Structure 1
């Protein structure tokens, strides 16, 4: 009996570590997709604002669909036996939004398309390029966290959370990171930065995803009782970013119809991925 317990504990430890490794590998892929999108500055100086706005709209659609199918739906299913089945998902969702609101209020940043006078966070004299990159970095924290939590939940071997579902989420995030990388690096190039510098800052915005993913996977795999809260926390953080940052930036250029249709396309793309693979 003692030996079997030791083996079981070792097996659980292995799965917790493997989920962290899976999350790291998945977000290295999403980081690569960000870098691939940012590399557009090497072969084209600029894109039309209409095109850039559509790419942001697509990213918003992917994030909204991922928030439900990959995060909130499993959280709700995991809470069915609770006395208040809606409470873990609701509490985690709101906590995720409040967490991003706190970062938003403290970290200096300025969103794409907005003048430096509209910078948010603590007052600073940092260069505009740094403030722009920090804005998109805030955006990428919940994406990495979501992928990490999804793989951590999958390591618990529960029907509501699967590795294939986590892979679908990572693929969807990577899919939207491709145009997002372009949407970051090209405006930096327009502002006078060199090609290499624009690419560097564009891809750097995705570097936070592996860090957030490792943290999310480790926490989810270690504290299984908190899985509904962790999944919905990541969902709330992503929805906060979509509403507070991505959609306003996409709409600022005036191409509202294009942005809306691109958002719908992104939503459907992520929905298909999650249903087909999850």
Structure 2
């Protein structure tokens, strides 16, 4: 159990680790912001298409994968209806509070199946499955933490609150992972759904929020290059650590 707890804690806390570099940012130009947002988008797309989706397919089938992705997308669409929000204004003004709430809620919500996947993988008793899933989830949690912190910093949220929000998203995943360990025998079949759900949620955020924002100030070309570099770097990192 000690190894299991250590695995879920490390995977969850990677979110906080990924947020730390953002706290060093004092000022950020529109171009710099677009480059970072696009790079993060590329990392998240690679984590979904190169990590989560193949893992879900190995454990299930295409119908399960499609179901999980569609459910993840649908949940975030419903959140947008419940918490209507405006997009980032490119003249430097801040977004509404509901927009920030939606973003934090979405990131926290999609951490639930990720946490369950880690916990259930440890509870499954399959050799090294828990460690592998924890590593993959922890690896993608770092750019997620970076993304959450970057979004909040750009909205001029105080750094103390930024770390509080990032910690909340990490704790949501940790609690979900512990639940997955305790009730793994009931949720074992949910692992591929959870992975696919996470992929769908991440892809929704990338296409709905990050890509439009990174193209809003006339920096489409450099943002596109940054997106591709983020995508490729995540693939190289994941492959080198397998």
TM-score by length of 1: 0.72
- Give the C-alpha shift of residue 62 in structure 1: 1.0
Residue 274 of structure 1, aligned match among 233, 238, 242:
238
Match of 1:56 in 2: 37
Given the alignment of the two structures, is residue 113 of structure 1 paired with residue 89 of structure 2, yes or no?
A: yes
User: Given that residues 95 and 155 in structure 2 are in contact (C-alpha distance below 8 angstroms), is that contact kept between their aligned partners in structure 1?
Assistant: no
Give structure 2 stretches of 5+ with no counterpart: none
Given the alignment of the two structures, is residue 95 of structure 1 paired with residue 71 of structure 2, yes or no?
A: yes
Residue 171 of structure 1, aligned match among 117, 136, 139:
139
Alpha-carbon distance between aligned partners in 2 of 1:49 and 1:143, rounded to the nearest angstrom: 28
Residue 152 of structure 2, aligned match among 181, 184, 188:
184
- Give the number of equivalent residue pairs: 236
- Deviations, residues 179-209 of structure 1 (Å, cap 9, x unaligned): 6624531x334xxxxxxx5323433442332
- Give the C-alpha shift of residue 27 in structure 1: 2.4
**SS of the residue 2:34 aligns to:** helix
Alpha-carbon distance between aligned partners in 1 of 2:138 and 2:6, rounded to the nearest angstrom: 13
Given the alignment of the two structures, is residue 78 of structure 1 paired with residue 42 of structure 2, yes or no?
A: no
The Cα RMSD (Å) is 3.0
Alpha-carbon distance between aligned partners in 2 of 1:146 and 1:113, rounded to the nearest angstrom: 32
CA separation of 1:56 and 1:108: change in aligned 2, threshold 3 A: same
User: Given that residues 19 and 217 in structure 1 are in contact (C-alpha distance below 8 angstroms), is that contact kept between their aligned partners in structure 2?
Assistant: no
- Deviations, residues 95-136 of structure 1 (Å, cap 9, x unaligned): 111111111221254443368x9xxxxxxxxx9563453243
Match of 1:247 in 2: 211
TM-score by length of 2: 0.81
**SS of the residue 1:92 aligns to:** helix
Alpha-carbon distance between aligned partners in 1 of 2:146 and 2:86, rounded to the nearest angstrom: 21
- Give the C-alpha shift of residue 161 in structure 1: 4.4
Alpha-carbon distance between aligned partners in 2 of 1:267 and 1:27, rounded to the nearest angstrom: 22
Residue pairs, 1:1-278, within 5 angstroms: 14=1, 19=4, 22-40=7-25, 44=26, 46-79=27-60, 85-113=61-89, 128=95, 130-141=97-108, 144-145=111-112, 147-155=114-122, 156-158=124-126, 161=129, 163-175=131-143, 177-178=145-146, 181-185=149-153, 187-189=154-156, 198-218=158-178, 220-221=180-181, 222=184, 223-278=187-242
